[in-house]
Structure formats: structure tokens, C-alpha cells
Amino acid sequence: MSVMNGDGAPHRAEEQNGGGDPEHSDEGNEQEVIVIQDTGFTVKIQAPGTEPFDLQVSPQEMVQEIHQVLMDREDTCHRTCFSLQLEGNVLDNFAELKSIEGLQEGSLLKVVEEPYTVREARIHVRHIRDLLKSLDPSDSYNGVDCNSLSFLSVFTEGDLGENGKRKKKGSELEQIDCTPPEHILPGSKDRPLVPLQPQNKDWKPLQCLKILTMSGWNPPPGNRKMHGDLMYLYMVTVEERHVSITASTRGFYLNQSTTYTFNPKPANPSFLSHSLVELLSQISPAFKKNFSTIQKKRVQRHPFERIATPFQVYSWTAPQVDHAMDCVRAEDAYTSRLGYEEHIPGQTRDWNEELQTTRELPRKNLPERLLRERAIFKVHSDFAAAATRGSMAVIDGNVMAINPGEETRMQMFIWNNIFFSLGFDVRDHYLELGGDSAAHAAPTNDLNGVRAYGAVDVDGLYTLGTVVVDYRGYRITAQSIIPGILEREQEQSVIYGSIDFGKTVVSHPKYLELLEKTSRPLKVQRHPVLDDKSEAVELCSSVECKGIIGNDGRHYILDLLRTFPPDLNFLPVEGEELPEESRRQGFPRQHRHRLACLRQELIEAFVEHRYLLFMKMAALQLMQQKANKESKATAALTENGGPQAATLENKGEGGDATATTNGSAPPSPMATENGACESPESSEADLKSREVVQNACKAVGSISNTSFDIRFNPDIFSPGVRFPEGSSEDIQKQKQLLKDAAAFLVSCQIPSLVKDCLDHNALPMDGATLTEALHQRGINVRYLGTVLDFISKTPARTQLDHIYRIGIYELITRSAKHFFKTYLQGVELSGLSAAVSHFLNCFLSSFTDAVAHLPADELVSKRKNRRRRNRVPGGGGGDNTAWASLTPTELWRSIVSEASSYYHFTLHCETVDQAVEKYGLQKTTLLREISIKAGIQILIKDYNFDSRHKPAFTEEDILNIFPVVKHVNPKASDAFHFFQSGQAKVQQGFLKEGCELINEALNLFNNVYGAMHVELCACLRLLARLNYIMGDYSEALSNQQKAVLMSERVLGIEHPNTIQEYMHLALYCFANGQLSTALKLLYRARYLMLQVCGEDHPEMALLDSNIGLVLHGVMEFDLSLRFLENALAINSKYHGARSLKVALSHHLVARVYESKAEFRSALQHEKEGYTIYKNQVGEAHEKTRESSEYLKYLTQQAVALQRTMNEIYKNGSSASIMPLKFTAPTMASVLEQLNIINGIIFIPLSQKDLENLKAEVQRRQEAMKSEEQQEEESPLELEHKLTAEQERQSAPTGAEVLEQQASA
């Protein structure tokens, strides 16, 4: 099964549209790849006032990219307005290098300064401001311009690569200080927030200028324009010199204006310079010095620390940052332009046109597809940024409504060519479906629909750009605008679907033809419904899905909220009974709204499950038939029985089970197969086999009788939709399918999730990763209560403690978020910080009578009557301070009732302290979860939640409210293919080839996504692991460093993935001999993990084993024991006392005791380990033998020690003492143990070994084919183990350890 959860979708779609040729095999790819990798060449670049330097370029690059490089280089970064000339000819900015005549290896390109225009002057000022601010993290804290935080360099003290070369391996031992801060040690209950953002030395701002701002004399009057004045700037230097500067076509110079008098004549001297930096360096020595220091530091930072991310990442904590004067920021805030949109002619962007044109780009071969995917991705990320900014402007009241006369809930807005609507039920549109609750759920359902149709990618069918933003308690849907839709009424424009939930329905042949193409991949059945005249109308989607042809002639579909079928577990229907599995769990349950749908992942899994069932049944019946025939012993018939089975089997092998087999088999495979043979018996066999397929189809609910094909009718159980008489049998079938799917979720998917958690194949650490694990298996979050109930009834309940606890966190914070949403809607802007801090106090503080401070304090004069405080100016409509009366008791009561009514789960707590006590929670984790979910940013300081005398938060602690944004993530399909085939190669043991494929995937991902993206992260991590296994430590280090930086920037500094990246990096640092760095990284990972989920988590055992081993290596035995014994305790809890992981833990602890010469304890632990090995893998196994050898050795040492002690007691100080052999562990032995616990198996690869390994693997594969895999345990255990990420969690099994020993 390739990837089920939606990731596989884009490429399946391609196969259906003929977008990708069916033989999309490796050979095809290899030719295509060659097209991309044209070799680079070197050109010389000569800039004014600098030495010529060499620059490596590739023929695909545009001239503009060289511009970017020059604007980033330390010695040329201050130039923005220049052209590149080759032998006196100006190069076109947008030309590809390969198209330029005479440009070759060694050509000299000259940088020539060009005259400024107003636009160029503004770009120049903006660029200089960016250079001055390049080390300042405030944009990352404020969540603007796609900046985000990264702290790796604080722990590695700069770039890792250099460290490795500088330090000698051995001499480092002496100067390491290994003691971690108190709060990181096992058992510590203290969870300080401050270390989350360690102080970065580079961020202490160096001041180059006090003030740089636009002058009040702008714009230049007509007579000055004719002298070439473009604009005026005002500056104050660090030396307190106030200057007025003219930007003219020739450059920048000082003029004679002051604050109150306008005198544009050049000063004397005027210091005319082409660049602002050159001008300022002449008049301010401090500027010259500090500017060059900042640029040096900027260039030293890893590029990944400063490249913009594709989507904005917000930080939920921030320090108090000084607010500095900044003309560019001020100007940006009040223009509707986003960033550099001055580059785009026509100013505002036509988002719809851009989104749809990129979809129409050709996609016949790899370069075309890459260009197309890159364009789609870029437009999507720009659109998401614009939509987010617009949504905030709408809620903050900065955008005029298009229907200003209506009440606020009903208003709609247009800003920057994007249409915004609020998530309320206006005009009782959703009255029958659940009112406001339905209106709140509809946008996310719609977004899932847009995502699904976008992934199928049918030519000629268009969806709208859609972004859903939650901000300040409101849900806003932002959509691109269909051309012409605003000029006409909706009734006229809809030519397919229904605008009143199925009362009137229309259809259209072109739409049916387009939607028919999506029917198979999305499993949507074509079906008739009745319109208001009771005539049947054909549809191939749900009734709410509307088709509108825009003025641009494109076929748009919108309102895709019912793309996937309804979830009957949460949709009680009178007279319908659910299957037994659902009823047993108390379904169906009443839900807030009637829009509860099954997830696409569930549909895929269900169809896959049914397909396997179908194959089994058909095969079984055929075998029975065969047996019957054989009993008649008619040879002729037996001949015919053979191919049948074969055709059926082959049909199943069609690659991606769901995509290719779902109805793609020819109508009657049996008939065609046997048509050649005309004997009478054959037709009888033919009939029988058809009957077999028919029976199997019927049994699994296929919509066709001749082949396996399951699709759903999304309109079943929709209120108001009626079906024609004739289709009643079909409708019954469909109803049954839906019931089966609902039961499948409860009876298969939830247990399989819990099993995966038990086997440690799924290891969620926080709410987000738990939600992801649920979604991957198609389980909606509304089942969270059911999942928790299921866990509490599982026999191995204690081994699921961590999952249960994370589930409770998620349940509490989600219920609190539901409450918070409506709570915030009643708060006006001036009271926001007070209201949020009051809410957090009620939620987390032990202080029982939290009192809110009403916001009037700053502004109202004290003498006025106290009672009139509540009436805030402009607060029309009732009492705006209702929020202030919330009490902790009331809030927790609401949370408990929300958990019960929404998630059907009973929480046994009335206050936060009871919750903490009963479920073993920690308040920092609750704070983190609620802040991330609700978009709150708080001041980073150590909060005292447990004080009974004062509340934990004041309004000064709430720094910001951020939007929470949901959008489509366009995928890079080709790159994903390469990545998958790379993984497959690695698992078969072809490491070199795997490595090449994954490198190729990395290039393609880079091509589509740019340098920063989650998927690049996965690529880099796997590459680093491969480099490491193949013995290239420094390359592993460099790739893993990139993975950590990228994870911090794209996912967040304390995201569970980031924590794991830190652990991998520490291992590679250790292997490179950078012990102190390795320790710092491990301590950082442990700190983050404590913040995110606390100490009681199976992953903590791995982390502590790593820390313990490194500490053992640097002879810190007592510290090492604390961590290793903690790891042992956690492993015993989560893997069971008899697991091999626990045996290994015992062995590690014994080694440390041996180093301390405490042989009795060492023996005790090693005996435990030995017993486990003996019971699990038997006496003869290598591991058991090793353990018994080690026991003998320990016993000898213990005896020797005892003798010496006796000798001392007997003879006093004159005793002759035998020197004892104490073993300090070698670095190699520590590294060997580290590799074992991290699940890495080494293969010392020389070329010869590689050949042998390949031959061996091939031999095994042949052998496997011949055996037809009779046994479960595949002999490819070793290859599978090499890099499958999951196996980090699996204990080193006997086989694996054996392999490891053998290969070492």
C-alpha cells in the first residue's frame, strides 16, 4: 500500500487524467532527470570598488537570481539599482542564462549603477532597512513576512561544520561542564518557561542609526521633481546628527532642509553617493563600523536561519521587545499592498486569475511539471498570506463591508481581490443543519473538498482559492472571486447543483463529464435526485456543490462541504439502525450539526479493506470450484480453472490497490479470457467464474456486478433531498455501505490506532501529533472521547498512559477553546488583553477568585461616577464587559459539560488543580496547547500557577493574538515519487542507489517548494541517516543540521519533530567527537520534551539512554546513572518488564556500576538482563552468551575486589594491593551502544562488501519469490530495519542484534 493518507492522491490523479504516462517507471524518470541537471559554469563578476570574484551559476538560472546573490553578499549587499552587462550589452533580468549569447565559462559580467526611479529608490530604502534589521528577531516574534525563530546556533555556537575541524577529538574531555540545569534532571517537577527561548548573543542590537524615516516634506513639489528629486528622507545618526537627505535619480545626497524649513538645495559637502550606505558611512563613523559588523554576522548565519518560510509560523511566547521607529513597517501597515507587490504591474493581484492560470500550465514532462507545481505552490503561499492579512483587517474593523447596512454578523467584505465572509448562519441558510454550529463547520469541510478536488487535478474543472482563518473568536472564509459573479444574482449563475439544499436542482452535461473524471478517485457515485417538479436530475456530487461558469469561460465548482459521505455515527436518523459494532459503543450520537462527514483517509482505508475481502472471497470460491472439478477429473476443465484464478489475482496486483483496481478492471475479465476457447465446457466454467465475481461483488457492496467498484452517494440522509422511485434498491445499498463505513471506523480504525500506539509505531507527543495520528487513520477528532474510553478498557492500560494523558490534554484544551471562541466575540478591542489574561487565570491559576480588570482604567478620568465604568465608548449594543464576570468554577464547569456533550467523555474534575491531580497533567503543557489552538502569544517568564494569593497572569503578559490558518498544501508529486522509490531502495539494502534517489528528490522538492518546507525536512533527515550508516559522519552532521534548522523554522521550536531532529543531531555530533555539543543538544531536547509532554513518555526513555551513555563516556558516572535508571523505569513501564529493550537498559546500567566498581549492583542488573535474554531468545543466542560472559567477568572483578578488601582488613596499611582493572569506557564502545539504542545498524561498506550485500539481497529475494513468503517474518528484516523511522522505537530484536554483531 503506498501512502494512504492523501499524500498518494496527487500521483494517482495524474494516472487517471493521462497526466502521467502509465510507464512512469524508473527508465522514464532517468531520462527526464538528465534534462534538469545541466552542468553549471563559473562567471567573473566585477562590481564598482571591489575586486572581481567568481560565481558558480547554472544555465537554468535567470539573470535576476544573480541580482539576488549580489544583494546578499557582504561586499555588494548595499546595491539594489544596477544592471549586469556582458561586453557592454545590458542583460535582460528575466532571461535564462543559457539563452544569452556569448555567456560562457569565465565570462566577465560588469555591475553598472543605473539611475533611480521613485520605485527603485523605495526598494533601495527598504533593502537597507532590511539589512540593518537582519539580526533583529522582532519580525519572528510578531509573525510577519514569514520570519520565524530558530535557536540551534545558540547550542552549537555557530556552524557545526567548522567546529568539527577545529577541535581535536581527545583533548575535549577536560573542559566539558556536563551538569545540566536542575530542571532538566529526572524527577524534577519544575517547568520554567524562560529557557524555551535562550538568549542569542547576536540579537543584542547594534545601533547603526537612531532614526531612518520618510521626511514630512514628501512628495517633492513640481519644480524639484524637474531637478530629479524623487523623495526626501530624515535621519538621526548615532552621534545625534540630524540630517535631511534627497533621493534623486543620480543617488542620495544631503540637502539643507530642517524639520521646519524646506530647503532642497544640496548641502556643502553633499556627499552624493549611489547608495545610502556609502553616504551614511561618510557622515557617521559609528554607522560605518556597526554596519560592517552586522553584515559580517549576517553572512555567518546559516542561510536556513534567514530564508522566509512558505507559510507564516507564529510563536506562542515572546520576550518584551522594544518597539523601534520604522518607516517601512509604518508604511506597510496602511497600504493594501503586500510586501514587494510593487514588482507586479497593475498593483493589486488578480488572485483568481493567478490561481487558475498556474493550473493550466502544461505538464507533459518533468521540467514542465516542475515549473507548474512551483508556480501553483508559490501562488498558494502568497494567497494564504494575503488572505490571512485581509481576515485580520476585516475582524479588526479596517475594511469596509460591501453590505454595510446589514448587522455585523451578516456583513461580507472584499479586500485585495479576495472575498471574505464570517462563519455565522446568515439568513437561516443552515437552519435545518444546526445553525451557527453548522456554519462554523462548513468552511473546514469545504476546504477539505477543495483540497480533494485540487489533488485529483482534472483539466478544465476549477475550484476557488480557499483559506479558513480563526481570529479573535471569529471564523473567516477567504475565497478568490469568480469573474463576473458579483454582477449577477446567484440564481442566474448556478447551472449545476442546488442553491437551496436540494429543493431546486439543475444539472449540466459539461459538468457531469468533468465530475465523472473525479468520481473514481474520490469514490463519489453518480446518482439521480428529484427537483421541485419531481423530475429526475443526474448529479455526480452532492446537491450543495454548485457549478458556475465564470466570465472567463472556466467551469468552477464551489461549496464542496459534502464531498465526502455523512458520518452516521453522529447523525441519528429515524427508522435507521446502525450495525451492532456501532451500537455497542453508544452510537449514533447527537452532534451539534448535521454536517459531520467521514474523512477521505477513512474512505480510502474502507475501500482497501473491502478490496481485500473481495479478493479473499473470490479466491475461496474459485478454489472450491476447482476442487469440485478435480473430483470429476475432467482434465479439460482443470485447464480452464487455472487462468481464472490468475486473472483475478493479476487484477489485484494493479499497483496502488485502491486507485487502479477500483472499477478499472475490464467489464468481464472472465469472458475475454476464455473467449478463445469455444468448447461447451468452457462456457460453463465461464458462467461459474462470472457468478463467483458477482457473488463477491454483492457481498462487499460493489456498485458494479462485474468488477470491484465501491463509491458513495454523498446525498443519502441529506434533509430535503429526494430520490426517484426506481433507484430505491440502489439507495438501500448505499445506506448499508454508509452504515458499514461508520462501523468500520469504530470496530477497525480505532482499535488499530490503539494497537499502533501499543507497538510504538505511532508515538504522538502533543495534541497536534495525536490529531495527526487520528487523521491518518481517518478518525475525526470528535471521536476523541470514544478513543479514550477504548484505551481505558484496554488490558495493557498502563502502557498507554502517555496516549491517554495527551488525549485528556487535547480534550480539555479543545473544550476550553470552544468556550473561548464565544467568550472573545463579546470583547471589544480595548479590553482584549484584560479579557485573555482573565480567561487564562480562570483556566490555569489556582487562585480561586480571579477578578478581571476592566479596561477603562487607562482612559477614564478618576472623578467620574464609578458605576458608569462599564459603558465603554463606542461599545454599542449591550454590556461589553460580560466577560469580566467569568469565574474559574464556571469555566471548568463549562469545560466538563462541553467534553461531555461534544466528545461524550466524562471528566472528573471541577478545578484545574483537580484535573492536574487526577490525570497527571502539567500546567505549562495546558498553557502551550491552549495558546497554540487559540492563537494567544504570551510574555515569556516563569509563571506561578499555584499561588493561592494572586492570579498567574496580568494583562501585561498577553502580547498578541494571532490568526490560526487552514489552507491547501499543494504537493510536489514527482519529487514525492523519487523520495518513495529512494526509501524502497534503502529498505531493500541498496543504500547507494537509495541515497542518489533521495538526493534527486531533495533537488526536486527544492525546485518546487523553495528552500524551506516540511517535506525537505524529511528528505534531509533520511539523507543524514544514510550518510551516517555509510560512515560519512561530517556529511551526516551537515544534513542533519539543516533538518533541525528547517524543523525549527517551519514547524516551531518545540514541535515534537524538532525534538527528534535534535536527538539525531546529537548522535552525529558525538560520532564527530563533539561531545559537549552533543550533550547540550540532548539537554535541549529533554527540556523541550518536558515542556511538551512531561517525563512519563516512552520517547523519554530513548532520550535518557542517549544522555546516560554520553555522560558515561565522559566519566560522569553518578549523573549518568540518574538518567539510565530513569530510562530503565520508563522502558519497563511502556515495553513490559520482559522486553529486550529493558534487558538492554539493565545492561547499560550495569556497565556504569562496573565503571564505578560497584560490582554487586552491576551483577544484579546484568542478571536481570541475562534472564530476559534467556527467556526471550534462548540459551544459544549470541546475546544471551554475551551477557553470560559479562556476568563471569563481573563476578571475577567482584571477587578480586573482595580479596583486596580482606587483605586490607587483615594486614592494615602494609597490605600489598593488587591493582584493580577499572574500565573507563572507550568512545567507540559508547558509540556502539548509542547506535544500538537508536536502532542504527552499521555495515562497514567497502566496495566489495557492497557487491556481496547486493548479491545476498538479490539471492534472498529470489528465494522469497520461490517460497511465496510462507512465513510471516521476512528475511529482509535487516534491510527493513536500516532506516525505517519507526524502528527507532522497536527494541533491537534478536534477529537485528544478531545481524548487527555479525556485520560488526
DSSP characters over 142-159: HT-TT-----HHHHHTS-
Query: Are the C-beta atoms of 474 and 422 separated by less than 8 Å?
Result: yes
Query: Are the C-beta atoms of 91 and 100 separated by less than 8 Å?
Result: yes
Range in 274-288, 752-766, 1009-1023, 1269-1283 with the lowest mean pLDDT: 1269-1283
Q: Residue 27 above 50 pLDDT?
A: no
Q: Compute CA 345 distance to the chain's CA centroid, rounded to the nearest angstrom.
A: 34
Sheet strands (E) in 37-128: 41-46, 53-57, 82-86, 89-90, 108-113
The sign one gets for the Cα dihedral 561, 562, 563, 566 is positive
Q: Residue 508 above 70 pLDDT?
A: yes
Range in 673-677, 1189-1193, 1230-1234, 1246-1250 with the lowest mean pLDDT: 673-677
Q: In angstroms, rounded to a whole number, what is the distance separating the alpha carbons of residues 1017 and 1058?
A: 10
Phi, psi (degrees; rounded to nearest 5) at 876: -55, 155
pLDDT of residue 1217: 56
Maximum CA pair distance of the chain?
A: 116
- Rank 295-309, 536-550, 683-697, 1230-1244 by mean pLDDT and report only the highest: 536-550
Provide the grid cell at 866. 464609578
pLDDT band, residue 614 (cuts 50/70/90):
very high
Q: What mean pLDDT is reported for the chain? A: 83
Condensed to tens digits (0 to 9), the pLDDT of residues 85-143 reads: 999 899 998 888 888 888 888 899 999 999 999 989 999 999 998 898 888 888 899 88
Provide the grid cell at 1110. 554520553
Condensed to tens digits (0 to 9), the pLDDT of residues 149-199 reads: 999 988 887 666 554 444 444 444 445 678 899 999 999 999 999 999 998
Query: Mapping DSSP to helix (H, G, I), strand (E, B) and coil, where does residue 850 land?
Result: coil
Q: Residue 513 above 80 pLDDT?
A: yes
pLDDT of residue 165: 43
pLDDT of residue 1216: 60
Report which of residues 544 and 1278 the model is more confident about. 544
Written as one letter, the residue type at 1159 is F
Strands 242-248, 251-254: pairing is antiparallel
pLDDT of residue 569: 95
Report which of residues 493 and 892 the model is more confident about. 892
pLDDT of residue 641: 42
Query: Mapping DSSP to helix (H, G, I), strand (E, B) and coil, where does residue 1109 land?
Result: helix
pLDDT of residue 1247: 56
Condensed to tens digits (0 to 9), the pLDDT of residues 771-780 reads: 999 999 999 9
Q: Residue 1087 above 70 pLDDT?
A: yes
| Average pLDDT, integer, range 686-705 | 86
pLDDT band, residue 866 (cuts 50/70/90):
very low
Cα atoms in the 13 Å half-sphere on the side-chain side of 269? 6
Q: What percent of the chain has pLDDT over 90?
A: 57
Condensed to tens digits (0 to 9), the pLDDT of residues 385-428 reads: 999 999 999 999 889 999 888 888 889 999 999 999 999 988 78
pLDDT band, residue 1261 (cuts 50/70/90):
low
pLDDT of residue 651: 36
pLDDT band, residue 13 (cuts 50/70/90):
very low
Q: Map 864-877 to HEC letters.
A: CCHHHHHCCCCCCC
pLDDT band, residue 1222 (cuts 50/70/90):
low
pLDDT of residue 316: 96
pLDDT of residue 1120: 95
pLDDT band, residue 310 (cuts 50/70/90):
very high
Report which of residues 1171 and 1288 the model is more confident about. 1171
**The dihedral formed by the CA atoms of 314, 315, 321 and 324, expressed in degrees to the nearest 10:** -10
Query: Are the C-beta atoms of 253 and 279 separated by less than 8 Å?
Result: yes
pLDDT of residue 406: 87
Query: Are the C-beta atoms of 669 and 647 separated by less than 8 Å?
Result: yes
Question: In terms of C-beta density within 10 A (0-12 exposed, 13-18 middle, 19 or more buried), how is residue 1137 classed?
Answer: exposed
pLDDT of residue 59: 84
pLDDT band, residue 822 (cuts 50/70/90):
very high
Range in 511-515, 628-632, 773-777, 827-831 with the lowest mean pLDDT: 628-632
pLDDT of residue 395: 93
pLDDT band, residue 681 (cuts 50/70/90):
low
| Average pLDDT, integer, range 897-901 | 96
- Could you tell me which of 1149, 1123, 1071 has the C-alpha nearest to residue 178? 1123
Phi, psi (degrees; rounded to nearest 5) at 933: -70, -35
Q: In angstroms, rounded to a whole number, what is the distance separating the alpha carbons of residues 763 and 1282?
A: 19
Query: Are the C-beta atoms of 788 and 804 separated by less than 8 Å?
Result: yes
pLDDT of residue 101: 87
Report which of residues 488 and 250 the model is more confident about. 250
Q: In angstroms, rounded to a whole number, what is the distance separating the alpha carbons of residues 159 and 146?
A: 23
The residue length of the chain stands at: 1304
Q: Residue 17 above 60 pLDDT?
A: no
Q: Residue 1304 above 80 pLDDT?
A: no
Q: What percent of the chain has pLDDT over 70?
A: 82
